[in-house]
């Protein structure tokens, strides 16, 4: 769709409910933000009412606070600890199983990809993160079949991000806050006496879905309100760094003295890699019944911060926190360009929020620069 | 040596899935114990699910039932396809389970993966093969290839360094290489015994015994990382162009297809960008500790 053809609609919460139902009736499993354990979590939901309403987040380095207002808002939080990655690339899945037969064994199928999924409220940064995962799992010589299937059947309802936190830096990574493509439907939530949303249709699939729903074209003033919110959102982000410059600095400084400084604070806990929407490392696990006759192979998320991640006979390649942090940051911000022709960072800030000691990678990059 | 007899394990893969994670069933057709901790196996397909032919330097993922998977280089290509030869060092849980297998036992294979030694491009040039210890195994198909097309190569040197006389891998190969006039075979040990009459010292000391025209020489190097680093230095000192030096790396691998992240080496994946690298592509990384 060219710019001039983009139609925007003013939709109500009830209209979104219609869209939700339309997706359900087309056999999509809706997945969206709900409140659980004091955080915004991404869960499978059966009814629109389950969506977290009125929740706001207060994020800082190593800080996550959730509060609730009576404003009926749906997308006024920033980003919770989870990313939608877990539905395209699950934390654990059974690759296959096998049963012993005399000298040999029979292989049986493992977990099958999920039915059609619809992601609700996904932010621009995370749409870009999914595109990065596509490069890893779909564009190489070998394709991840599970991911491929889940991805093909995906429906994306994006939410323009009007509430960036102090940890966000998508303006630096040029991945937000306004969703630019990669979605089927996108909304910007406007908080008013009666909240409304400016809806944009991003694909034929999206168009088809809303065909039967009566949509009211948005007025220029309403569109302007939404645009203003996104423009203000951009201005709120104060963190700045130049990704291409960072890539160069990191690749040229594997022995920079600052790595020792970070290592003094880093706990090598792997939180940053688990909350990251693009970290893709995995390990395999073999689980065998006590009889020894039946075994299962599982794929599970792994982290370059884990001790046995780099183990080869004789010991670990990276036994120190210094070498692990260096590996993580240099890979994400620099090596990623060589491997996948893009940065591995989308500026969502989760690694800063969920670092127990509040390490801020943008600050570390600045320190490396000086 | 043992020979396979009555290989007919019951095998059915439930679905002819194209899933790269599912191994192809092979059985041990032949087993040869090389020394204390190294065993050479010849595997043959147990079904119609056959891996593509391998090239020297490539590797497979070997799966032992219920234990796990490990990457192992092909150690001979003399056995006709679809037979596959691997030499395994008993150093961990999976390699131990593999080494303990007997003729007729089933193994799972995925592959072939990785970059090969560029043996074709080395034709009409002098060749230096430099191996350290078990590094002989990934280089053995190179030796076989060159011997088969011997007239297409110039001087051929094989410089082999090993821990001590007892650890000499592929003993029969070593004996025949020593009596082969078409190959300049040199061997050295780190630690000698009283009955050892050969060279003592690191493998780089053998470079001066090699015969080659430095400007027209290709070198294939495989062994412990430190040996490969100094091996490359010694070859460059002797005038070999670094653009003609190839090195085979080793890292932890779970997937072998660039998806699991374990084998990263700087911006490279050892599984798909390697294991055989052109020396200049990795020389800066070889000097960085804990990369």
For residues A117 and A126, give the distance between their C-alpha atoms in angstroms, rounded to a whole number: 16
Do A196 and A283 lie in one domain? The reply is: no
Residue B1 has pLDDT above 70, yes or no: no
Residues A186 and A230 grouped into a single domain: yes
Same domain, B169 and B81: no
CA distance B53 to B44: 12
Predicted local confidence at residue B138, as pLDDT: 98
Above 90 in pLDDT, residue A68? yes
Contacts of B262 in chain A (CB under 8 A): 281, 283, 302, 309-310
Query: Where is the domain boundary, A236, A251, A282?
Result: A236
Q: How confident is the model at residue A5 (pLDDT cuts 50, 70, 90)?
A: low
User: Which of A110, A137, A322 lies at the smallest CB-CB distance from B259?
Assistant: A137
Chain A residue at shortest CA distance from B256? A142
- Residue in B closest to A300 by C-alpha: B260
What is residue B17's predicted lDDT score, i.e. its pLDDT? 43
The two structure tokens encoding residue A123: 């932010």
> Are residues A276 and A164 located together in one domain of the fold?
no
Are A69 and A169 part of one and the same domain? yes
For testing the chain B interface, which of A94, A105, A301 should be mutated: the one with the most B CBs within 10 Å?
A105
Summarised one tens digit per residue, pLDDT across range B230-254 is 999 999 999 999 999 999 999 999 9
Question: What is the band of A125 on the pLDDT scale with cuts at 50, 70, 90?
Answer: very high
Chain A hits for B23, CB-CB cut-off 8 Å, are 107
Considering the domain architecture, whether residues B136 and B279 belong to the same structural domain is answered as yes
* Model ipTM over 0.90: yes
CA-based max dimension of chain A: 75
- Do B97 and B138 belong together in one domain? no
Phi, then psi, of B147 in degrees rounded to 5: -65, -35
Query: Which of A100, A254, A312 has the CB atom closest to B288's CB atom?
Result: A254
Residues B135 and B102 in one domain: no
| CATH number of the domain where residue B223 is located | 3.40.50.80
**pLDDT band at residue B3, thresholds of 50, 70 and 90?**
very low
Mean pLDDT in chain B?
Answer: 93
How many domains is chain A partitioned into structurally? Answer: 2
Residue A149 has pLDDT above 60, yes or no: yes
Q: Where does the pLDDT of residue B18 fall: very low under 50, low under 70, confident under 90, or very high at 90 and above?
A: low
Average pLDDT over residues A252-276: 97
pLDDT value, residue B9: 35
- State how many domains chain B has: 2
Q: Are residues A118 and A54 in the same domain?
A: yes
The answer to whether the peptide bond before residue A144 is cis (omega within 30 degrees of 0) is: no
pLDDT computed for residue B6 by the predictor: 33
Judgement on whether residues A146 and A276 belong to the same structural domain of the protein? no
Shared domain for B166 and B278, answered yes or no, is yes
Interface test with chain A among B14, B37, B66, by most A beta carbons within 10 Å: B66
Average pLDDT for A328-334: 98
In a mutagenesis test of the A interface, which of B21, B28, B72, B134 is the best target, namely the one with the most A β-carbons within 10 Å?
B21
Residue B80: pLDDT band with limits 50, 70, 90: confident
Q: How far apart are CA A61 and CA A237, in angstroms?
A: 14
Residue span of the structural domain in which B93 resides: 24-112
**Residue in A with minimal Cα distance to B28:** A103
Q: Residue A111's closest chain B neighbor by CA?
A: B19
Both B256 and B194 in one domain: the answer is yes
Residues B138 and B223 occupy one common structural domain: yes
Residues B131 and B273 in one domain: yes
Q: Is B268 left (phi over 0), alpha (psi -120 to 50) or beta?
A: beta
A101 and A14 part of one domain: yes
Q: Which residue has the higher pLDDT, B102 or B13?
A: B102
A residues 213-252 near B, CB within 8 Å?
Answer: 251
Q: Which of B55, B83, B112 is the last residue of a domain?
A: B112
- Is A49 at the interface with chain B, CB within 8 A? no
Query: Which pLDDT does position B79 carry in this prediction?
Result: 83
Final residue before a domain boundary, out of A236, A256, A287: A236
Nearest to B9 by CA among A352, A104, A366: A104
Q: Determine the distance from the C-alpha atom of residue B160 to the mean position of all C-alpha atoms in its chain, rounded to a whole number.
A: 13
Last residue of a domain, one of B81, B112, B143: B112
Q: What is the pLDDT of residues A37-50, one digit of tens each?
A: 999 999 999 999 99
B84-100: average pLDDT: 97
Asked whether residue B85 falls in the same domain as residue B210, the answer is no
A111 confidence band (pLDDT: 50, 70, 90)? very high
Contacts of B21 in chain A (CB under 8 A): 95-96, 110, 297, 299
Question: Where in the sequence is the domain holding A252, given as residue range(s)?
Answer: 243-369
CA-atom Rg of chain B in angstroms? 19
> Are residues A232 and A120 part of one domain?
yes
Length reported for chain B: 291
Q: Are residues A212 and A260 in the same domain?
A: no
Is B71 part of a structural domain of the chain?
Answer: yes
Q: Is residue B7 part of a domain?
A: no
Q: Kindly state whether residues B132 and B241 are assigned to the same domain.
A: yes
Q: In this structure, is the dihedral angle defined by the CA atoms of residues A258, A262, A268 and A269, taken in order, positive or negative?
A: negative
Q: Nearest chain A residue to B93 by CA: give it.
A: A313
Which residues does A179 contact at the CB level (< 8 Å), separation at least 6? A123, A124, A127, A158, A159, A160, A186, A202
Question: Which of residues A183, A212, A236 is at a domain's end?
Answer: A236
CA distance, residue B209 to nearest chain A CA (Å):
32
Which residue in B23, B67, B95 is closest to A286 by CB distance?
A: B67
At A140, the pLDDT band (50, 70, 90 cuts) reads: confident
Q: Are residues B149 and B236 in the same domain?
A: yes
Question: Among B21, B68, B290, whose Cβ lies nearest the Cβ of A317?
Answer: B290
Beta carbons of B10 and A101 less than 8 Å apart: yes
CB of A137 within 8 Å of any CB in chain B?
Answer: yes
Is residue A90 within 8 angstroms of chain B, CB to CB? no
Residues A216 and A282 both lie in one domain: no
Q: Which of residues 264-323 of A touch B (CB under 8 A)?
A: 280-284, 286, 288, 292, 295, 297, 299, 302, 304, 309-314, 317-320, 322-323
Please write the tens of the pLDDT for every residue from B170-205. 999 999 999 999 999 999 999 999 999 999 999 999
User: Where are the alpha helices (H) located in chain A, listed in sequence order?
Assistant: 13-25, 85-88, 124-137, 145-152, 170-173, 204-210, 220-236, 243-252, 258-265, 271-275, 321-330, 336-340, 350-353, 361-369
Quick one: pLDDT at residue A78? Answer: 96
Question: CA of B105 to nearest chain A CA: how many angstroms apart?
Answer: 5
Is the same domain home to B158 and B216?
A: yes
Q: Identify whether B138 is part of a domain.
A: yes
**CATH number of the domain within which B64 lies:** 2.40.30.10
Same domain for A299 and A180, yes or no, is no
* Interface A:B, Cβ pairs < 8 A: 143
Residues of A in contact with B260 (CB under 8 A): 281-284, 302
Kindly list the distances between the CA atom of residue A277 and the CA atoms of A10, A140, A159, A213, B39, in Å, as whole numbers in the listed order. 31, 19, 17, 33, 43
The whole-angstrom distance between residue A11's C-alpha and the CA centroid of its chain comes to 26
Q: What's the pLDDT band for B15 if we cut at 50, 70, 90?
A: very low
| Residue A24: Cβ within 10 Å count | 16
Residue B14 lies in a domain: no
* Residues A58 and A190 occupy one common structural domain: yes
Instruction: Quick: pLDDT tens for B39-69.
Output: 999 999 999 999 999 999 999 999 999 999 9
Which residue in the set A311, A320, A331 is minimally distant from B252, CB to CB? A311
Q: Is A243 helix (H, G, I), strand (E, B) or coil?
A: helix
Q: Do B288 and A107 count as a contact with CB atoms less than 8 A apart?
A: no
C-alpha to C-alpha distance for B136 and B113, rounded to whole angstroms:
19
DSSP β-bridge partners for residue A284: A299
Mean pLDDT across B8-22? 52
In order, the DSSP letters of B49-99 are --PPPP-TT-EEEEEETTTEEEEEEEEE--SPTT-EEEEEE--SHHHHHHH
Q: Which residues 92-121 of chain A have a CB within 8 Å of chain B?
A: 95-96, 98, 100-110
The whole-number pLDDT of residue A241 equals: 86
pLDDT digits (tens, 9 = 90+) for A213-250: 999 999 999 999 999 999 999 999 999 889 999 999 99
Structure tokens at B170: 């592929």
Residue B169 has pLDDT above 80, yes or no: yes
Calculate mean pLDDT across residues A279-307.
97
Does B119 reside within a domain?
no
**Mean per-residue pLDDT for A240-265?**
95
Query: Cβ separation of A95 and B68 shorter than 8 Å?
Result: no
Q: Taking CA atoms, what residue in A is nearest to B101? A: A103
Which of B112, B134, B149 terminates a domain? The answer is: B112
The pLDDT of residue A314: 85
């Amino acid at each position: 769709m060219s710019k001039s053809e983009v139609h925007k609609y003013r939709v109500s919460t009830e209209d979104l409910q219609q869209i939700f139902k339309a997706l359900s009736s087309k056999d999509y499993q809706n997945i969206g933000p709900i409140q659980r354990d004091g955080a915004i979590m991404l869960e499978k939901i059966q009814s629109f009412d389950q969506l977290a309403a009125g929740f706001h987040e207060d994020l800082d380095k190593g800080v996550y606070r959730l509060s609730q207002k009576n404003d009926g808002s749906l997308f006024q939080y920033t980003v919770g600890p989870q990313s939608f990655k877990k539905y395209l690339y699950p934390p654990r899945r059974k690759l296959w199983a096998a049963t012993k037969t005399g000298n040999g064994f029979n292989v049986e199928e493992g977990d099958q990809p999920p039915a059609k999924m619809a992601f609700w409220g996904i932010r621009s940064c995370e749409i870009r993160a999914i595109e990065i995962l596509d490069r890893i799992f779909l564009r190489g010589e070998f394709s991840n079949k599970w991911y491929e299937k889940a991805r093909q059947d995906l429906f994306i309802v994006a939410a323009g991000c009007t509430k960036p936190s102090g940890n966000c830096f998508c303006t630096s990574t040029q991945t937000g806050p306004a969703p630019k493509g990669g979605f089927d439907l996108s909304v910007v939530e406007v908080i008013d006496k009666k909240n409304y949303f400016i809806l944009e249709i991003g694909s034929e699939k999206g168009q088809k879905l809303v065909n039967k729903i009566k949509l009211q074209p948005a007025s220029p003033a309403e569109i302007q309100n939404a645009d203003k919110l996104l423009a203000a959102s951009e201005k709120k982000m104060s963190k700045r760094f130049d990704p291409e410059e960072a890539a160069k600095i990191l690749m040229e400084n594997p022995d920079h003295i600052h790595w020792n400084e970070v290592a003094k604070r880093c706990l090598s806990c792997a939180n940053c890699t688990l909350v990251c929407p693009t970290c893709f490392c995995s390990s395999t696990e073999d689980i065998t019944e006590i009889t020894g006759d039946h075994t299962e192979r599982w794929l599970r998320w792994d982290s370059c911060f884990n001790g046995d991640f780099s183990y080869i006979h004789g010991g670990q390649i990276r036994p120190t926190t210094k070498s692990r942090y260096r590996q993580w940051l240099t890979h994400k911000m620099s090596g990623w360009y060589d491997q996948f022709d893009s940065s591995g960072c989308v500026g969502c800030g989760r690694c800063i929020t969920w670092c127990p000691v509040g390490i801020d990678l943008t600050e570390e990059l600045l320190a490396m620069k000086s | 040596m043992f020979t396979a007899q009555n290989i007919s394990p019951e095998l059915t893969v439930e679905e002819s899935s194209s899933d790269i994670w599912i191994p192809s069933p092979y059985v041990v057709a032949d087993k040869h114990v090389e020394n204390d901790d190294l065993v050479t196996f010849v595997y043959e397909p147990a079904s119609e699910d056959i891996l593509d032919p391998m090239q020297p330097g490539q590797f497979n993922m070997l799966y032992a039932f219920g234990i796990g998977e490990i990457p192992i280089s092909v150690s001979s290509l003399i056995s006709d396809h679809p037979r596959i030869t691997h030499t395994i060092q008993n150093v961990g849980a999976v390699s131990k389970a593999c080494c303990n297998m007997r003729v007729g036992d089933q193994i799972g294979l995925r592959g072939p993966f990785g970059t090969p030694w560029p043996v074709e491009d080395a034709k009409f040039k002098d060749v230096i093969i430099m191996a350290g210890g078990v590094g002989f195994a990934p280089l053995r198909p190179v030796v076989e290839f060159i011997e088969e097309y011997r007239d297409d190569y110039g001087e051929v040197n094989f410089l082999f360094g090993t821990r001590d006389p007892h650890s000499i891998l592929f003993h029969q190969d070593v004996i025949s290489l020593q009596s082969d006039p078409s190959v300049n075979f040199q061997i050295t040990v780190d630690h000698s015994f009283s009955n050892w009459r050969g060279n003592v010292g690191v493998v780089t000391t053998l470079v001066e015994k090699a015969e080659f025209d430095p400007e027209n020489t290709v070198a294939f190097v495989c062994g412990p990382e430190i040996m490969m680093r100094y091996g490359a230095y010694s070859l460059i000192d002797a005038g070999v162009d670094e653009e003609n030096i190839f090195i085979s790396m080793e890292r932890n691998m779970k997937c072998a297809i660039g998806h699991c992240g374990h084998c990263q080496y700087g911006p490279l994946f050892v599984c798909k960008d390697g294991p055989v690298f052109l020396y200049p592509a990795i020389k800066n990384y070889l000097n960085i500790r804990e990369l």
